[in-house]
Amino acid sequence: MGEKSRYAVVHYAEIGLKGHNRPFFERTLARNIARRLDGLGLEQVERLSGRMLVRLDRPLDQPGWKEALNTVFGIAHFSLAYLAAPNIDSARSTLLELLPTAPVESFRIRATRDDKSFPLISPEIERVLGAAVQERTGWPVRLKGAELVIGVEVLRGRIILSFGRLPGPGGLPVGASGRVGLMLSGGIDSPVAGYMALKRGCRVIPIHFHSRPFGNWMGAEARAREIVRAMTVYGMEPFFYVVPIGRQQREITVHIPEAYRVILYRRLMVRVAGAITRREDGLALFTGESLGQVASQTLEGMAAVEAVATVPLLRPLVGMDKQEIVEIAQRIGTFELSMMEGDDCCQFLMPRRVVTRPQLRQVAEIESGTEMERLVAEALDQATRVTVE
């Protein structure tokens, strides 16, 4: 393909797009593509029916744009594209000019016709252009499993030609599903949970608890910040909430049996995170818990925490093995960051033993030995919103 293209055609999965949902979905996707390609020479994102045409002010042969589009959720696949005038002769001559010079094992044309007034129907377009390509190159046609699929999309006023297709990340455009909180510790799991929330179209508000004024809370906060920064490419907003709870945790340790500390820290965090989420108009709270991964992540443990949640708790990693989670973390670039120095919230306040099958009634009774309401209010009062430049 000698000619350089300044266009990419972006396709999205249309399943579930009905009525009013559709324009909203499309607007959201177009805006996210525009944001992501800002700085790469974006000129325009044009919404066509069932797809989008992205135009840059420079040829799309530079590095970066493929990676960029591959992080925009909602994109099913995309291709380099070229434009031809809306007649079959123009499509044929443009196509022949653009054919790759390297030999191709097999090819097919896949035509779609949006403009129903176009004189040829899709199978006819495929036949005419397929014959032209074959005559020029001798490449065999193969309808299933062709090495090169040439897309021909007939629109009103122009024809889009594209070669091959690159897979997008799938999912739904960030912002299409509403807002959620994310309990972001800085460990390996919670960034992956955040990624899953973004992938399903949620706008994600990360909330990080650390042990200030005790321990290496600075490292923990820096680590969380780097993770948020790394995730902005997937549509994470460049800010997060930081909540110091060192004093509240210490107070809990004084009043209650050691084995119940972790569960009460959790109940404290979930109350605070739920309040922040609601304040931000969020509808649910994501966590990185996975069933049975550590002693506190049992069904009983989850139930004892969930009991005090004021928004639904969502746990996208619940059915995953550690190895699967690690692989995603590596692929999305957060694994390395999770290895940074920093305390796991209040390491020094961690007990030697945790109750693995806490009974709700007993937890509530033990908790009544603390002034939980005040602890929650104090922590909320100390919460700050940190911007990530």
Residue 142, both tokens: 């193969």
Among 210, 211, 206, 190, smallest CA distance to 332 is for 190
Residue from 71, 185, 287, 338 touching Mg ion (CB under 5 A): that is: 185
Q: What tokens appear for 40 in the block?
A: 């790469």
Sole residue written with tokens 């989850």:
302
The answer to whether the beta carbons of residues 9 and 78 sit under 8 Å apart is: yes
The number of residues that bind ligand ATP (CB under 6 A) is 17
Contact letters for ligand ATP, residues 331-370 (x by CB under 6 A): --------------x-------------------------
Task: Tell me the closest approach of the beta carbon of residue 203 to ligand ATP, in angstroms.
Answer: 17
- Residue 269 CB, nearest approach to ligand ATP (Å): 6
Q: Which is nearer to ligand ATP, 166 or 294 (CB)?
A: 294
Report the alpha-carbon angle 7-10-14, nearest 5.
160
**Whole-number minimum distance, CB 205 to Mg ion, in Å?**
19
The entry of ligand ATP, Mg ion, none near residue 26 (CB within 5 to 8 angstroms by kind) is: none
Choose from Mg ion, ligand ATP, none: what does 94 bind? Cβ within 5-8 Å by kind: none
The option from ligand ATP, Mg ion, none interacting with 188 (CB < 5 to 8 A, set by class) reads ligand ATP
- Widest CA span of the chain, in angstroms? 85
| Cβ atoms of 201 and 286 closer than 8 Å | no
User: Taking CB within 5 to 8 Å according to partner kind, which of Mg ion, ligand ATP, none is near residue 217?
Assistant: none
Contacts of 131 (CB under 8 A, 6+ apart): none
- Among residues 147, 153, 151, 149, the alpha carbon closest in space to that of 162 is found at 151
Using the contact rule CB under 5 A, the part of the chain among 134-142, 262-270, 327-335, 343-351 near Mg ion is 343-351
> Per-residue contact track with ligand ATP, 183 to 212, x per CB under 6 A?
xxx-xxxx-----------------xx---
Give yes or no for a contact between 30 and 181, defined as CB atoms under 8 angstroms apart: no
Instruction: Provide the pairing of β-strand 384-387 with 239-244.
Output: antiparallel
Among 233, 221, 305, smallest CA distance to 264 is for: 305
Q: Which stretch binds Mg ion (CB under 5 A): 41-49, 67-75, 164-172, 341-349?
A: 341-349
Q: Minimum distance between the CB of residue 272 and ligand ATP, rounded to whole angstroms?
A: 10
Instruction: Give the one entry of ligand ATP, Mg ion, none that residue 184 binds, where binding means its C-beta sits below a cut-off of 5 to 8 angstroms depending on kind.
Output: ligand ATP
Q: Which of 276, 364, 274 is nearest to 312 (CA)?
A: 274
Alpha helix ranges (H) inside 63-200: 65-69, 88-98, 122-137, 189-199
Place of tokens 């120095």: 341
Residues in 274-333 that interact with ligand ATP by CB under 6 A: 287-289, 293-294, 296-297
Say how many CA atoms lie within 13 Å of 353 toward its Cβ.
Answer: 6
Interface with Mg ion, residue 333, by CB under 5 A: no
Name the closest residue to ligand ATP (Cβ): 187
Query: Could you say which of 50, 187, 333, 369 contacts Mg ion (CB under 5 A)?
Result: 187
Q: Which residues bind Mg ion (CB under 5 A)?
A: 185, 187, 344
Q: Which residues bind ligand ATP (CB under 6 A)?
A: 183-185, 187-190, 208-209, 287-289, 293-294, 296-297, 345
